[in-house]
Structure 1
Amino acid sequence: MALQFSDLTDGFAGQLLIASPFITSPLFAQTVIFLCAHSYQEGAMGIIINRHLTKPTPEELLQQLGISPFPQNAHFSISAGGPVENAHGLVLHSADWDTNGCIAVTDTVKLNASLDILRDLSSGQGPKQALLALGHANWAPGQLEEEIKNNIWHLAPSNESILFDSHFTKKWRTALQSIHIDPSKLSYLSGQS
């Protein structure tokens, strides 16, 4: 599926998609995904928000892109956003910053793929909260709905404190707790006695 944002208000866009404890695939085990786009006709696109990348650092990435970094001002984290186009960066950020190319996913969260946001972040002029994701995840039309129906994923309302939290290892449990799920109490044999 080509990366398209033609209908960001349809379906589950702007919600958190939380991996069931039963997902064993290394790509998605214990992931939290912010859904950027979802439509029943085109499928879905989201960004994994809890797979922190220590390399490259924000300063190294800015240097690679030819942007003069001001390390004390470069306030953003980098996440492995998903297996699709993982050399391509997308920035989720708070709505206090705007330019051409910003896509409003919710009233408080925007998505941007331009270098302008990285330039502004490097100089301390960018949004207050930002997460750079390298890559994203896609679902074909109907695929995500089927996976949710089969309890592979749980949906939760968007939560900026989870989305922009710098404690990446806590995001999955915190997201499950936000919808009153304790992963240690779930059974692999759900519905059976």
Structure 2
Amino acid sequence: MSFQQDPYGTGSPYLDGQMLVAMPGMMDERFARAVIYVCAHSPEGAMGIILNRPAGNLNMPDLLVQLEIVPEPERIHLPERVGRIQVLMGGPVETSRGFVLHSPDFHLAQSTLPIDDGVCLTATIDILRAIAQGRGPQQAVLALGYAGWGAGQLEHELQANGWLICPADAELIFSTPAEIRYEMALRRIGIEPAMLSMDAGHA
């Protein structure tokens, strides 16, 4: 079966709006145990956001102050939900750039890319200003950087069994703690994480 004939059973030859879950044998350390939401996938390549790498001690209010969107004295007046927005290390490409995955209740003309029914991507500073002012989306995560693949590269990794494909949903992206997204994504496709361990014994 060729790539064009939908070898992954998703109903489309492309994986926009799906999640990739790294197999235990993933050779690239940058993607070990990664869960990646695929934002764009075409014959030219693919890009996605790693969902389970929290950005250390960096939080959304810190970031808004660092970017001078909010002066430090105003930080205390930020809407409460701003502090609940997760900041992630989204991938090794353009790590100084921010990408916001968010619910579809917020849209900026020319800037917001709807990916599927429950998730959009906006990568301009205007969405951060809106979030700071309480006008942003109800649900959001901010990623610094992204994961990228050249033409045919992701297809090759899939055929080499580097990734499992998992249907995405807003709950897993916005509401599940980053630390357990890997296990939750595996369970969504009926796999117990222990079953995938490279050290697992035989039944």
**Shorter-normalised TM range:** 0.7 to 0.9
Identity of aligned residues (%): 41
Q: Retained in 2: the 8 A contact 1:59–1:71?
A: no
1:44 aligns with 2:46: yes
CA distance in structure 2 between the aligned counterparts of 1:150 and 1:180, rounded to whole angstroms? 21
CA distance in structure 1 between the aligned counterparts of 2:61 and 2:13, rounded to whole angstroms? 36
Regions of 4+ moved over 4 Å = none
Q: Retained in 1: the 8 A contact 2:118–2:169?
A: no
Matches within 5 A, 1:49-128: 49-68=51-70, 69=75, 70=78, 72-74=80-82, 75-100=84-109, 101-128=111-138
Q: In structure 1, list runs of 5 or more residues that go unmatched.
A: 1-8
Q: Aligned-pair RMSD on alpha carbons?
A: 1.9
The range that moved more, 60-69 or 19-28, is: 19-28
Give 1:165 shift: 2.6
CA distance in structure 1 between the aligned counterparts of 2:123 and 2:23, rounded to whole angstroms? 29
Query: Deviations 1:112-159 (Å, cap 9, x if unpaired)?
Result: 011121112112221111010000011111111111112110111111
Distance 1:175 1:73, change over 3 A: closer
Tell me which residue corresponds to 2:9. none
**Among 154, 157, 170, the residue aligned to 2:164:** 154
Q: Retained in 1: the 8 A contact 2:37–2:48?
A: yes
1:129 aligns with 2:139: yes
Q: TM-score, normalised by structure 1?
A: 0.86
**Among 179, 183, 193, the residue aligned to 2:189:** 179
Q: Which has the higher helix share?
A: 2
Q: In structure 2, list runs of 5 or more residues that go unmatched.
A: 1-11
Give 1:188 shift: 5.0
Q: Retained in 2: the 8 A contact 1:21–1:183?
A: no
**Among 10, 14, 17, the residue aligned to 1:11:** 14
CA distance in structure 2 between the aligned counterparts of 1:128 and 1:63, rounded to whole angstroms? 21
Query: Deviations 1:159-193 (Å, cap 9, x if unpaired)?
Result: 1111113511100000011001123223759xxxx
CA distance in structure 2 between the aligned counterparts of 1:181 and 1:73, rounded to whole angstroms? 33
1:168 aligns with 2:178: yes
Query: Deviations 1:18-52 (Å, cap 9, x if unpaired)?
Result: 1112225431111100000001x201100001101
Tell me which residue corresponds to 2:37. 34
Q: Whose Rg is larger?
A: 2
Distance 1:49 1:61, change over 3 A: same
**Among 119, 142, 145, the residue aligned to 2:152:** 142
Give 1:56 shift: 2.3
